[in-house]
Amino acid sequence: MRKVIVGGVGMTPFGRFLETSLGDLACDATRQALGDAGLEVGDIGLVAFGNAAAGLLNRQECIRGQTALRGLALQGAPVINVENACASGSTAVNLAHMAIGAGQCDVAIAVGAEKMYNEDRLVPLRALEAAADAEELDALKRRIGAPLDEPTGSVFMDLYSSVAKGYMARSGATVEDFAAVSVKSRASGTRHDRAQFRATTDVDAVLASRMIADPLTLMMCSPIGDGAAALVLVSEDFARRRGIRGPEIKASALASGMPSDPEAPPVATRAAALAYETAGLGPEDVDVVELHDAAAPAELVLYEELQLCEPGGGPDLLRSGRTSPGGDMPVNAGGGLLSRGHPVGASGCAQLVELTEQLRGTAGPRQREGARVALAENAGGWLGHDAAATVVTVLVA
């Protein structure tokens, strides 16, 4: 398999942009990424367009990428539309990586974009429910204690509430630990000029914010948002010919949940194991991490599932300061989903934009000095007792 290089990245601000279209966001990020790589639209051999819910949110069910990017005049380049819930963006990168690695093209661009804000706040909540098995949704809600009638909050926050309670029981984690994750995230967000939330906070303020699903308060939950991010991937030979420099994607591992086997390792653990094996690296080699903190407790759970610490060691790793800004293994230095924001189809690409900037040494006040190995974990949907899909990506400077 050929080596694949991240040649360029682009990302819009994440936030609430009611007057901006999905296409405006996607084209903006794509132009940024192409400009960063020093390439033109005509150089693109493949477009992988990640979007989770435009059909439910914006009424564009089919040909999402073709319509969103029509302003770029793609000159007939193949566009593949990728929908994998919140893992849509990272799955698009996985597809683009495979295409270049297999020799199908020398340049591919992965674009993740989502426009979630709506005048009717129930529209995005209903769309998010579609990331669970529709035939089992009521049974899932009963199991986790979520309301069965008209939604007032996200069923996924009810899921994370259930996960958080189980994690507290087995690890000794406290609600103050979850609040500390949010505080860390907001501190990182202040260092990111494209983050949705850019104000610091403290543990007391997080705990005092509105209760969403006990023990999760509002500031422990990722927001909905609008935004896009893009990555230009190129083959090693093409990069050499064109003088393009960037980190190599050493591994991109996609795995699915296994609802028929409740004893199976978590999908994040299985994807991470494959990524580590493919990259020839281990968790001890990782310098900087982006992970899917859709709710604050998920960060601690994923410390363990990604083997960044021993089972039950998540609270101690958080308290050690190693994963904080300035620590030797910062986690979600770009603010994570909690503060950078979570336009679901864009989040996986945004994680990899952040890690590319870290490995280039261009992350500014967020920079982890000397970063050489980076890992991203991006999950999507829910199936049984686990995420439906997870992509783990390893990049090396």
What are residue 256's phi and psi, to 5 degrees? -115, 155
Q: Say if residue 263's pLDDT is above 80.
A: yes
**pLDDT at residue number 148:** 64
Q: Where does residue 274 rank: exposed (0-12), middle (13-18), buried (19+ CB within 10 A)?
A: middle
- CATH superfamily, with its number, for domain 4-119+223-396: Thiolase/Chalcone synthase (3.40.47.10)
Is-contact 291 336, C-beta < 8 A?
yes
Predicted confidence (pLDDT) per residue in 55-102, tens digit: 999 999 999 999 999 999 888 999 999 999 999 999 999 999 999 999
Determine which one of 97, 192, 292, 342 is catalytic: 342
Quickly tell me which residue has 């040909």 as its tokens.
63
Q: Please, which pLDDT band fits residue 126 given cuts at 50, 70 and 90?
A: confident
Determine which one of 86, 105, 221, 309 is catalytic: 86
Predicted confidence (pLDDT) per residue in 294-322, tens digit: 999 999 999 999 999 999 999 999 999 99
Q: Please, which pLDDT band fits residue 149 given cuts at 50, 70 and 90?
A: low
pTM: 0.96
**pLDDT at residue number 2:** 97
Q: Is 292 a catalytic residue?
A: no
Q: Print the SS3 string covering 129-160.
A: HCCECHHHHHHHHHHHCCCCCCCCCCHHHHHH
**pLDDT at residue number 69:** 97
Predicted confidence (pLDDT) per residue in 98-123, tens digit: 999 999 999 999 999 999 998 888 88
From the CB of residue 62, how many other CB atoms can be counted at a distance below 10 Å? Answer: 9
Q: What's the chain's length in residues? A: 397
Q: Is 86 a catalytic residue?
A: yes
Which residues, including other chains, have CB under 8 Å from residue 122's CB and lie 6 or more apart? Answer: 150, 151
Helices 175-189 and 296-305: crossing angle, nearest 10°?
A: 100
Mean pLDDT value across the chain? 95
